[in-house]
Structure 1
Amino acid sequence: MHFCPSCSNLLLVENGVGENGETCLVCQTCPYQFPIRRQMISRTILKRKEVDDVLGGEEAWKNVDSIETPCPKCQHQRAYYMQIQLRSLDEPATIFFKCCSTECGHTWKEG
């Protein structure tokens, strides 16, 4: 993407608008034109930002209740749970589970 040096708007590619029918980068709001005389290639590698834990990390699981339900990963018979309202109020809350087994710690959700 290239931007107009006069008004900072995005330049568009148009064929046959230059002095000799050249392909140009053209601004839609001002009369700026930049003739394209050679192939233009540029690449920018973007850095991905870190994803936040939406459940609050390990601190969120400290004071939650546990219930007797099997873990789908290790079949341990007890899991911590918490309910969070993710959708609108007329929809049921989503229940998140975390296996009580210290070796497993698998998390899953229902609803």
Structure 2
Amino acid sequence: MLLFCPACGNVLVAEEGARCHRFACTTCPYVRNVTRKVSSRKYPKLKEVDDVLGGAAAWENVDSTAEPCPKCEHPRAYFMQIQTRSADEPMTTFYKCCN
């Protein structure tokens, strides 16, 4: 939380004194003593995550390969390729077991 000087508009800086805490302006003599706890929290809104793979419908018309599944050794697996990075990068291949 930023506080601004009402006299000159500069940002107030926090100072810790022997007896009290205060906000002071570095340009003019304005001082504001802290009489209570000052706190502020701001939680940013999380943006919605896009389904990069296109959801369950993306797997409906994909090809299958004769390569065995690396997890369960099933003899076939579905695959699809999606451009996940910039155009000069190779496509990313995703596999899904036919089992």
TM tier, smaller: 0.5 to 0.7
Percent of aligned pairs with the same residue? 51
Name the residue aligned to 1:87: 85
- Extract unaligned runs of 5+ from structure 2: 26-30
SS of the aligned residue for 1:15 comes to strand
Name the residue aligned to 1:52: 50
Quick check: which has more Rg, 1 or 2? 2
CA RMSD of aligned residues (A): 3.5
Highest RCO, 1 vs 2 (Cα 8 Å, sep ≥ 6): 2
With normalisation by structure 2, the TM-score equals 0.60
With normalisation by structure 1, the TM-score equals 0.54
User: How far apart are the structure 2 equivalents of 1:90 and 1:40?
Assistant: 51
- Extract unaligned runs of 5+ from structure 1: 7-11, 27-32, 102-111
SS of the aligned residue for 2:49 comes to coil
